[in-house]
Amino acid sequence: MVNILLLEDELYTRRFLKKLVSENPSVDKVIDTPSGKEAINFAREYKLDIALLDIELAPEEGLNGILVAKKIHDFNPDIFFVFITGYSQYAIDSFAVHPYDYILKPVKKAKINEIISNLTKEIKKRNDIGSSPPKIRIKAKNEIFIIAPSDILFIERQEKINLIHTENNIYKTHQTLSKLEEKLGGNFLRVHKSFIANMDKISRIREVGNRSYEIEFDGYDKVALMSRYKFEEHKHRFTPL
């Protein structure tokens, strides 16, 4: 069962969304508000799993849904953000909080239920394996390196060697990508037959030639590749379209 924060400043839309979300059997509690500031306070007060946030709020708020998400993310980085909007131009700005998905207005019941059901599975999986996956041990010659998954930006296959990229080092291992993928948490995504990327570390995804994509990471000058097939498979996690 999950607890959900709902931020929507339009009264009838908020009532409609609350009723829709409350009917999902995976939902325990829905806390709704029209105010961005109140949403931030609720996120501090309650243990919340998912935040459904309208992006465009009343001008007097001085906030929009993305700014609210950034403030919540500062003290609760584990919450899943889903933005509700009638527009698609906010995709790039929202990357700072790595939103799980977007709901484009007019809202459809099937879309809401699909997102909540998928996120419930993600949350259960995360709770089952604990707050952080076990560290990975890499043997290189006469040394053993112990790496926290949260330090990994991406993993790259080069012939028979896999390179584990962190901000400060690159580690070589003969462990297969499939084996490494099994040891990592749900925030790691196989984005290419030769790359696994840490979703929490992505800063930008850029389309390059031949409908392939480059993934850039915070404070790192090397990139990972994403195939067009993987982008199509997972594009709901990257774009509102």
Domains in the chain, ordered, with CATH? 2-129 (3.40.50.2300), 136-237 (2.40.50.1020)
Rg, Å, the chain Cα set: 19
pLDDT at residue 241 above 70? no
pLDDT at residue 95 above 90? no
At how many degrees (to 10) do helices 36-45 and 65-75 cross?
Answer: 20
Show the CA angle centred on residue 48, arms to residues 46 and 53, nearest 5°.
110
pLDDT at residue 94 above 60? no
pLDDT number for residue 100:
82
Extract the runs of DSSP E, i.e. beta strands, from 41-177.
50-54, 80-85, 101-104, 136-140, 143-147, 152-158, 161-166, 170-173
56 beta partners:
none
- In angstroms, the CA 28 to CA 7 distance is 17
Q: What percent of the chain is predicted at pLDDT more than 90? A: 45
- Predicted structure pTM score: 0.55
Mean pLDDT of the chain: 86
At how many degrees (to 10) do helices 11-22 and 109-129 cross?
Answer: 60
pLDDT in tens, 154-172: 999 998 899 999 988 999 9
pLDDT at residue 178 above 90? no
- In angstroms, the CA 238 to CA 227 distance is 14
pLDDT at residue 92 above 50? no
Q: Considering only residues 141 and 117, tell me which one the structure prediction assigns the higher pLDDT.
A: 117
- In angstroms, the CA 103 to CA 178 distance is 32
Confidence of residue 196 (pLDDT cuts 50, 70, 90): very high
Residue range 171-199: average pLDDT?
A: 88
Q: How far is CA 98 from CA 43, 93, 182, in A?
A: 17, 10, 22
pLDDT number for residue 160:
86
Confidence of residue 32 (pLDDT cuts 50, 70, 90): very high
Q: How far is CA 144 from CA 171, 172, 173, in A?
A: 10, 11, 11
Confidence of residue 104 (pLDDT cuts 50, 70, 90): confident
Select from 52, 132, 131 the least CA-distant residue to 99: 52
Confidence of residue 124 (pLDDT cuts 50, 70, 90): confident
